[in-house]
Amino acid sequence: MTLAIDPARIPDAARVAPVVQRRWLAGGELRTWEGPLEEVRAVVLHPGAGGAPAAPAALGGYPLLGEAEALHALDCACRAWDQGRGPWPSAPVGERLAALTAFADAMGGVRETVVRLIMWEIGKTRGDAEKEFDRTVVYIRDTVAALKDLDRTAARFQAVDGVVAQVRRAPLGVALCMGPFNYPLNETFTTLIPALAMGNPVVFKPAKLGVLLLEPLLELFARCFPPGVVNTIYGDGRVVVSPLIRSGRVDVLAFIGSSKVADLIRAQHPKPHRLRCVLGLEAKNAAIVTRHADLDQAVKECVLGSLSFNGQRCTALKMLWVERSLHAAFAERLAAAVDALRLALPWEAGAQLTPMAEPGKPAAMQALVDDACARGARVLNRRAGAVDATAFFPALVDGAAPGMRLWREEQFGPVVPLAAFDDLEQPLAFVRDSDYGQQASVFSRDPAEVARLVDGLASQVCRININAQCQRGPDVFPFTGRKDSAEGTLSVSDALRVFSIRSMVAARDNPASHAILGDIARERRSAFISTDWLF
Ligand code: G3H
């Protein structure tokens, strides 16, 4: 079986024109790259001619920039920063917010193009691709509202113990934002937008996959922001990222990816203590299903939580613990629910599972299953396994145990390990011993039991979901993790704090100080000392 589709049968509402991207943005100029391109292949397969195996459709390519281009983009950002004196970092908050609002408004014009590219490039269903796009626009508008709030608070002088002071949040400098492939728009923008909002010029590097879908936004960046405020780089991280970090001129690293890569990047900074890091890394979120759980609800949430977007979410449930007395019933229901899922092309109605973007992903998933089975686990569901070069039907692997790769590794795909427990202490010990500490889900209707689990988990993870899957949203809530899962906290308002530093003016609380500060504020002599605020 294969999901390969004859190009002639692709519906008009899903068609995309190939994108051979040669443009990159630096210093406000859309430059043309004449050098080599990284070839981009779709998750969608076309049947091979003459009995050849189906192969991913060609989708286009993007620039494989060199070190010189990356350093040029950094120079442009540094000029826009100009040690904090550039027009963007020193602009009144209202001007920056107007630019962000204009950008959010303009995004509407490219929605359909971006949504289609998300489907083809990373395999998100149309519904999820639309959700990702719309959630991103809402995130920008919420950021604008949150910054107005921050600005209102900062317009106040405080008098404490004989000192009168005004505290504001100032930008940090040049930010390097690197997004992930699974939420190429949303996750990337949850760092890019707050970085810009607080006045930091940005060099932006997309992940290796999910790049072309950002191309339609280049012109909007160039149109809505002053030169050098948004710059884009593409290519091999060792070529285009390392020299930027080694130069010591990047002040903030916002990176969503693996802790191994984050550590490699950070270590290259000549003075790592100067590099503020905002990191979203791996996770191994566990669900703990006790005998007091509502079985229907637990199965439904565990299917959603482990397999939405084929399990390729940092917040996905990646280990299911089930109390032994419920285990057989749970396993049977879960296997039936998973086997009933619809694996289809991203634009097909009712698609719940889709092909995946990372080359060799089905084989990588099969290797995890084989390793577990060789050590005593067994596959629970009938349809489990590779379908073709990009699709893998989810495998439920029962009997997960120490020593199996699935026990410790983040699978980041459609393989779901299960383990039975006799005592709540077992899943709690698993969470404590894990390298990761993002979230957990607890399924039980017994308040005393829920309370015990919450108390056992609260010092290990940063969000405990009761009778619900793990998830990031709503975006006003803090999103972070312990151990190897994250550094820094992102939410609409937390992100504004992460990308800024408090700076204050202070004076003795006496009539002479009042006269000076009052005059400066009244006559609007300073951008910093000001009692104006935005409505
Ligand atoms: O991959 C990590 C994402 O931030 C998960 O977000 O929980 O909304 O899918 P989500």
pLDDT at 517: 98
Give the residue extent of every domain in the chain. Answer: 7-280, 285-482
* Bridge partners (DSSP) listed for residue 163: 160, 508
pLDDT at 51: 83
- The answer for residues whose C-beta is within 8 angstroms of residue 124's C-beta and 6 or more apart is 118, 132, 309, 346, 354
Minimum-distance ligand 1 atom for the alpha carbon of 471: 7
Indicate the average pLDDT of the chain.
97
> How big is the chain by its Cα radius of gyration, in Å?
25
Confirm or reject CATH 3.40.309.10 for domain 285-482, answering yes or no. yes
Ligand 1 contacts CB of residue 33 (under 6 A): no
Q: Which of 181, 182, 469, 472 to mutate to test the pocket of ligand 1 (most atoms within 8 A of CB)?
A: 472
The alpha carbon of residue 25 and the mean position of all alpha carbons in its chain are separated, in whole angstroms, by: 22
Residue with the two structure tokens 């080599």 = 36
Give the C-alpha separation, 188 to 199, whole Å.
Answer: 17
| Sign of the dihedral defined by the CA atoms of residues 196, 198, 203, 209, in that order | negative
Ligand 1 contacts CB of residue 315 (under 6 A): yes
Grouped pLDDT means (10 residues each) for the chain, 535 residues: 93 97 98 98 94 93 98 98 97 96 98 98 98 98 97 95 98 98 97 98 98 98 98 98 98 98 98 98 98 98 98 98 98 98 98 98 98 98 97 98 98 98 98 98 98 98 98 97 98 98 98 98 95 88
How far, in Å, is the centroid of ligand 1 from the Cα of 229?
A: 27
Ligand 1 contacts CB of residue 139 (under 6 A): no
pLDDT at 534: 86
pLDDT at 1: 74
Cβ-in-10-Å burial (0-12, 13-18, 19+) of 35 comes to exposed
Residue with the two structure tokens 């917010």 = 97
pLDDT at 535: 82
How far, in Å, is the centroid of ligand 1 from the Cα of 527?
A: 38
Contact 8, 48 (CB under 8 A): no
How far, in Å, is the centroid of ligand 1 from the Cα of 155?
A: 35
Task: Report the SS3 class of residue 443.
Answer: strand
The alpha carbon of residue 384 and the mean position of all alpha carbons in its chain are separated, in whole angstroms, by: 28
Ligand 1 contacts CB of residue 234 (under 6 A): no
Minimum-distance ligand 1 atom for the alpha carbon of 182: 1
How far, in Å, is the centroid of ligand 1 from the Cα of 314?
A: 6
Q: Which of 124, 471, 489, 490 to mutate to test the pocket of ligand 1 (most atoms within 8 A of CB)?
A: 471
Protein residue closest via CA to atom 2 of ligand 1: 314
How far, in Å, is the centroid of ligand 1 from the Cα of 438?
A: 11
Protein residue closest via CA to atom 7 of ligand 1: 471
Protein residue closest via CA to atom 6 of ligand 1: 472
How far, in Å, is the centroid of ligand 1 from the Cα of 470?
A: 9
pLDDT at 49: 87
Ligand 1 contacts CB of residue 530 (under 6 A): no
Confirm or reject CATH 3.40.605.10 for domain 7-280, answering yes or no. yes
Q: Which of 131, 132, 183, 309 to mutate to test the pocket of ligand 1 (most atoms within 8 A of CB)?
A: 183
In tens, the pLDDT along 6-33 reads: 999 999 999 999 999 999 999 999 999 9
